[in-house]
């Protein structure tokens, strides 16, 4: 089993939305590295740190889990979608998504600032300067540390 961190803008889809809806399809990823993680490495049952980006208090707000492995992201074929990709072909999809289910919302969010100040988390990918990747692998020890800080 692997561990991941996935970024979401809370204005678009927050941990509370995930809690309410129970699950979500992770559509709209248009970055090859992130796609490859989803398509090639994310497995059923993998756990996910749910990160809020582009907001007042960036940080990890809870935990989700992979409930469906990669399948073609339908928005790439939808000319009305903001994620439409005219170069994608039906028989050769370019973009994939996974489904993520709700596991828990942290009692206290683990903020980006807090994570930066934790020695034990210093080599997490998401803390690297200029990191823009929306999906990153997370080590087990880091996952457990963050979870511990949130609960």
Residues in contact with DNA by CB under 7 A are: 7, 9, 30-33, 53-55, 58, 112-113, 128-134
- Are 62 and 6 within 8 A, CB to CB? no
Q: Give the span between the Cα atoms of 17 and 62, in whole angstroms.
A: 12
Q: Which is nearer to DNA, 58 or 62 (CB)?
A: 58
Closest by CA position to 100, among listed 19, 1, 11? 19
Q: Which is nearer to DNA, 34 or 63 (CB)?
A: 34
Pairing outcome for strands 135-138 and 47-52:
unpaired
Q: Which is nearer to DNA, 59 or 65 (CB)?
A: 59
Give the shortest CB-29-to-DNA separation in angstroms: 9
Give the shortest CB-2-to-DNA separation in angstroms: 19
Residues listed for the chain: 151
Give the shortest CB-70-to-DNA separation in angstroms: 17
Which are the contacts of 3, defined by CB distance < 8 A and separation ≥ 6?
46, 47, 48, 49, 137, 138, 139, 140, 142, 143
Give the shortest CB-8-to-DNA separation in angstroms: 8
Q: Which is nearer to DNA, 113 or 122 (CB)?
A: 113
């Amino acid at each position: 089993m692997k561990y991941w961190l996935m970024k979401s803008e809370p204005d678009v889809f927050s941990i509370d939305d995930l809690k309410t809806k129970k699950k979500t399809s992770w559509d709209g990823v248009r970055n090859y590295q992130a796609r490859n993680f989803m398509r090639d490495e994310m497995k059923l049952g993998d756990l996910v740190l749910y990160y809020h980006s582009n907001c007042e208090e960036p940080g990890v707000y809870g935990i989700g889990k992979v409930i469906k492995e990669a399948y073609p992201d339908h928005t790439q074929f939808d000319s009305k979608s903001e994620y439409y990709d005219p170069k994608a072909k039906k028989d050769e999809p370019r973009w994939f998504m996974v489904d993520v289910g709700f596991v828990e919302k942290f009692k206290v969010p683990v903020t980006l600032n807090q994570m930066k100040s934790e020695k034990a988390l210093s080599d997490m990918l998401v803390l690297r300067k200029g990191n823009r990747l929306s999906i990153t692998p997370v080590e087990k020890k880091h996952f457990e540390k963050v979870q511990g800080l949130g609960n």
